[in-house]
Amino acid sequence: MKLIAYPVAALLGLLGIVFVAGAQGVILRLVVGAILLLAAVALVWLAKMQPSRTTTTLVQKIDLSGDVNLQKLNCRQCGATLNRDAVSVHAGAVFVKCAYCGAAYQLEEEPQW
């Protein structure tokens, strides 16, 4: 929006100055010039009031209960070894997507009774 608002405001401001300077006693030109200058100021003000975009980084940490042993993770469909890029967390659940066969599924923790 700022990319468009500032040049348009500059154009309106220049036209407003031309109308005010060339009024020479004509009230209508003076009014049009004042309106153009007010429009230019309003455009600049609106462009400045636009909220700036911010980047938010969301970090999710998983707290595992009990003893955890590192194991190789293999795909359920094709048996290929999965790397860390195949695992993702969405809404608190762990999902796996195999890069080889394209299978996608949710990992579920098995009880150790």
Q: What is the pLDDT of residues 9-41, one digit of tens each?
A: 999 999 999 988 988 878 898 899 999 999 999
Long-range contact set of residues 39-43: C-beta below 8 Å, sequence gap at least 24: 39/9, 39/12, 40/9, 40/10, 40/12, 40/13, 40/16, 41/9, 41/13, 43/5, 43/6, 43/8, 43/9, 43/12
| pLDDT tens per residue, range 37-82 | 999 999 999 998 888 788 998 887 777 666 666 678 888 888 888 8
Helix or strand or coil: residue 81? strand
Task: Please give the model's pTM, rounded to 2 decimal places.
Answer: 0.46
